[in-house]
């Protein structure tokens, strides 16, 4: 059977093997970071992989005995709650299984696939393709499954009258400051007559479109419909304040006609809470009151009493109000593919959003691991690409100087990603001495899964540390500005 060990083997022989003495699991996948190296390199997969193929060193393990005696810490629970075997233990079991032959591999793999909830609805399909057309076809299918989000375009229309917070929202959700290049002008009160597109800095295919105002002399409803092609958008956020206008209501009718999803968004909740506090009304009662006022207005205007989704948020602080619910609404309305692309750009806007990004990345691991286990070439490229995606999605690839202060587990640099890949290679011990003639697919599958699950958990922790630090730094600079 073909397997990626050929690639890993090439990689191992090309690198001098890092002594294994300190690779305990307390600090995670890699226990130490090389402080002297330039950690600010821009990561380039091709470059790194080129550097991997430079040959030197040939330190190998001495004996089978050494392999079996190697330190391991017994069974371990993966983030999905499943019991995962340590590689050495798996290896020993597999060694036994190679003595009795590899015929059980296919059966064990089938069991493994069927019980893996991470594969979701595709498990039957994958098995069918594997059995009918072999591992190559299964790899193509899985590759498409994990890569398709890259082709997704998400267009979110942001509509509403002037000063309701559209531009501020478009900046905040993209983690763009009002002074940054590509930011939407906040508070200028200039009504735009064209659709203005704002692309996400992390993924240019996530596009927020600031729609022109409607129902004015310069932009009649008819002109609006000519200019704005409603079918071009995945979702519509209609910003309102304090309640929807008749023009907003008219827009919802147009959207219903063409079966486009929309919701009302009411920003500035922070201001409402502040103002109500001054009047002696408890903060926790404010959202319910605002919501009731909006529902009353909607019901008065609309002859058809339909449920409408309303989200109360603060563009100045996404922790306040319904931002998480708004994200769940987006998840429910977008295809899974599009939501992946959307979620991979979310983590930088707050700790609550990190979880969304994390979940979507975690959902990929089973498909990825199975693909790698069946893959017979390009494994290192896939692994590097996945690691790169984690760093990028968690915003950990743009750290410049500050990370040194944060003591992150996996500080970003091209060299460091090479070290992570080295560690993955070390998860296949004994290969150089051919203690095990061949790794079976189940071992590979479990090992890849465990590696990516652990790395993802640790990078999520790094992301939380970084976001907490960024928020603290921002608050400090605001305080300093206020004092001046
Ligand atoms: N406190 C607070 N202020 C907000 C919030 N959202 C927007 N603002 C402020 O409200 C003002 C108007 O916001 P914009 O985002 O420019 O409004 P807009 O809907 O884009 O307005 P036009 O471009 O004129 O259509 C700005 O001064 C913002 O700083 C919010 O959630 N909280
Ligand atoms: Mg604006």
Output the pLDDT for position 224.
95
Ligand 2 midpoint to CA 44 (Å): 37
Output the pLDDT for position 191.
65
Same domain (yes/no): 127, 178: no
CA proximity to 57, closest of 345, 365, 432, 424: 432
CA-proximal residue: ligand 1, atom 24 (nearest):
189
Ligand 1 midpoint to CA 167 (Å): 7
In a domain, 119, yes or no: yes
Output the pLDDT for position 477.
80
Ligand 1 midpoint to CA 164 (Å): 6
Q: Decide whether any atom of ligand 1 lies within 6 Å of the 315 Cβ.
A: yes
pLDDT tens by residue, 414-437: 889 989 988 888 876 544 334 444
Output the pLDDT for position 304.
54
Identify whether the C-beta of residue 467 lies closer than 8 Å to the C-beta of residue 351. Answer: yes
Q: Which domain holds residue 374?
A: 5-149+352-472
Ligand 2 midpoint to CA 236 (Å): 16
Final residue in a domain of this structure, among 301, 334, 367: 334
CA-proximal residue: ligand 1, atom 14 (nearest):
165
Ligand 2 midpoint to CA 169 (Å): 9
Ligand 2 midpoint to CA 60 (Å): 63
CA angle 346, 41, 449 (to 5 degrees): 55
DSSP string, 325-351: HHHHHHHHHS-HHHHHHHHTT-GGG-H
Q: Decide whether any atom of ligand 1 lies within 6 Å of the 270 Cβ.
A: yes
Final residue in a domain of this structure, among 279, 305, 334: 334
CA-proximal residue: ligand 1, atom 8 (nearest):
165
What is the SS3 assignment for 440-483?
CHHHHHHHHHHHHHHHHHHHHHHHHHHHHHHHHHHHHHHHHHHH
In a domain, 131, yes or no: yes
In a domain, 478, yes or no: no
Q: Residues 163-181, buried b or exposed e (16+ Cβ, 10 A)?
A: bbbbbbbbbbbbbbeeeee
Identify whether the C-beta of residue 9 lies closer than 8 Å to the C-beta of residue 142. Answer: no
Q: Decide whether any atom of ligand 1 lies within 6 Å of the 267 Cβ.
A: yes
Q: Which residues contact 19 (CB under 8 A, 6 or more apart)?
A: none
CA-proximal residue: ligand 1, atom 9 (nearest):
165
Q: Which residues contact 354 (CB under 8 A, 6 or more apart)?
A: 346, 347, 394, 460, 463, 464, 467
CA-proximal residue: ligand 1, atom 4 (nearest):
268
Same domain (yes/no): 24, 10: yes
DSSP class of residue 236 equals: E
In a domain, 385, yes or no: yes
In this prediction, the residues of the chain whose per-residue pLDDT falls under 50 are 1-27, 32-103, 430-437
Same domain (yes/no): 143, 10: yes
Identify whether the C-beta of residue 39 lies closer than 8 Å to the C-beta of residue 401. Answer: no
What's the N-to-C CA distance of the chain in angstroms? 70
Same domain (yes/no): 313, 383: no
Same domain (yes/no): 306, 366: no
Same domain (yes/no): 26, 140: yes
In a domain, 342, yes or no: no
In a domain, 483, yes or no: no
DSSP class of residue 238 equals: E
Ligand 1 midpoint to CA 160 (Å): 11
Q: Decide whether any atom of ligand 1 lies within 6 Å of the 165 Cβ.
A: yes
Q: Decide whether any atom of ligand 1 lies within 6 Å of the 268 Cβ.
A: yes
Q: Decide whether any atom of ligand 1 lies within 6 Å of the 413 Cβ.
A: no
> What atom of ligand 1 comes closest to residue 190's alpha carbon?
24
Same domain (yes/no): 246, 261: yes
Question: CA separation (Å) from 177 to 180, 206, 309, 391, 465?
Answer: 5, 17, 28, 22, 21
> What atom of ligand 1 comes closest to residue 186's alpha carbon?
16
CA-proximal residue: ligand 1, atom 6 (nearest):
165
Ligand 2 midpoint to CA 224 (Å): 17
Same domain (yes/no): 375, 433: yes
What is the Cβ-side half-sphere exposure of residue 447, based on CA atoms within 13 angstroms?
26
CA-proximal residue: ligand 1, atom 2 (nearest):
268
Tell me how far apart the alpha carbons of residues 171 and 158 are, in angstroms, rounded to a whole number: 12
In a domain, 326, yes or no: yes
Same domain (yes/no): 173, 138: no
Same domain (yes/no): 365, 389: yes
Helix axes 104-115, 123-133, angle to 10 degrees: 160
Q: Which residues contact 305 (CB under 8 A, 6 or more apart)?
A: 299
| CATH number of the domain that residue 200 is part of | 3.40.50.300
Identify whether the C-beta of residue 206 lies closer than 8 Å to the C-beta of residue 342. Answer: yes
In a domain, 127, yes or no: yes
Ligand 1 midpoint to CA 393 (Å): 28
Number of domains the chain is built from? 2
Same domain (yes/no): 248, 196: yes
| 450: its two tokens | 């465990």
Q: Decide whether any atom of ligand 1 lies within 6 Å of the 332 Cβ.
A: no
Burial class (CB in 10 A: 0-12, 13-18, 19+), 307: exposed
Output the pLDDT for position 298.
86
Same domain (yes/no): 144, 157: no
Output the pLDDT for position 206.
98
Question: CA separation (Å) from 196 to 19, 191, 193, 404?
Answer: 56, 11, 9, 39
Q: Decide whether any atom of ligand 1 lies within 6 Å of the 271 Cβ.
A: yes
CA-proximal residue: ligand 1, atom 28 (nearest):
187
Ligand 1 midpoint to CA 312 (Å): 14
Final residue in a domain of this structure, among 334, 369, 400: 334
Q: Decide whether any atom of ligand 1 lies within 6 Å of the 216 Cβ.
A: no
Output the pLDDT for position 71.
33
Question: What ligand has the least distance to the C-alpha of 191?
Answer: 1
DSSP class of residue 159 equals: E
């Amino acid at each position: 059977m073909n397997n990626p060990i050929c690639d890993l083997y090439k990689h191992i022989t090309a690198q001098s093997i890092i002594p294994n003495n300190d690779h305990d699991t307390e600090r995670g996948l890699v226990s130490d970071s090389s402080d002297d190296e330039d950690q600010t390199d821009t990561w380039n997969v091709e470059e790194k992989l080129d550097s991997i193929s430079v040959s030197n060193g040939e330190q190998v393990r001495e004996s089978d005995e050494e392999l079996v005696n190697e330190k391991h810490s017994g069974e371990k629970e993966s983030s999905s709650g499943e019991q995962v075997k340590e590689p050495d233990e798996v290896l020993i079991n597999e060694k036994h299984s190679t003595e009795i032959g590899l015929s059980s591999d296919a059966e064990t793999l089938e069991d493994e696939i069927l019980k893996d909830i991470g594969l979701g609805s595709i498990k039957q399909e994958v098995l069918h393709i594997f059995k009918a057309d072999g591992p190559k076809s299964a790899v193509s299918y899985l590759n498409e499954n994990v890569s398709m989000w890259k082709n997704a375009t998400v267009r979110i229309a942001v509509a509403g009258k002037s000063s309701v917070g559209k531009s501020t929202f478009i900046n905040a959700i993209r983690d763009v400051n009002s002074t940054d290049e590509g930011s939407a002008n906040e508070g200028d009160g200039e009504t735009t007559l064209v659709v203005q597109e704002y692309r996400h800095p992390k993924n240019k295919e996530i596009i927020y479109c600031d729609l022109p105002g409607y129902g004015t002399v310069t932009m009649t409803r008819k002109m609006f419909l000519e200019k704005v092609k409603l079918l071009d958008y995945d979702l519509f956020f209609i910003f309102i304040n304090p309640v929807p206008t008749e023009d907003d209501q008219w827009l919802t009718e147009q959207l219903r006609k063409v079966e486009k999803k929309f919701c009302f968004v009411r920003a500035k909740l922070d201001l409402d809470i502040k103002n109500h506090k001054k009047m002696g009304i408890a903060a926790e009662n404010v959202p319910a009151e605002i919501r009731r006022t909006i529902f009353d207005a909607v019901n008065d205007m609309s002859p058809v009493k339909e449920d409408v989704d309303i989200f109360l948020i603060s563009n100045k602080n996404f922790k306040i109000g319904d931002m998480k619910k708004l994200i769940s609404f987006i998840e429910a309305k977008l295809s899974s593919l599009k939501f992946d692309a959307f979620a991979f750009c979310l983590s930088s806007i707050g700790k609550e959003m990190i979880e969304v990004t994390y979940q979507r990345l975690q959902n990929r691991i089973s498909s990825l691991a199975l693909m790698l286990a069946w893959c017979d070439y390009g494994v290192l490229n896939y692994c590097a690409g996945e690691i790169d995606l984690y760093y990028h999605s968690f915003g950990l690839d743009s750290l410049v100087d500050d990370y040194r202060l944060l003591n992150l587990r996996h500080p970003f640099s091209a060299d460091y990603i090479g070290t992570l890949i080295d560690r993955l290679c070390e998860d296949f011990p004994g290969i150089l001495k051919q203690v095990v003639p061949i790794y079976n697919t189940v071992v590979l599958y479990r090992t890849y899964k465990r590696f990516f699950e652990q790395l993802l958990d640790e990078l999520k922790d790094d992301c939380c540390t970084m976001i907490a630090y960024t928020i603290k730094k921002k608050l400090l600079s605001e305080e300093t500005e206020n004092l001046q």
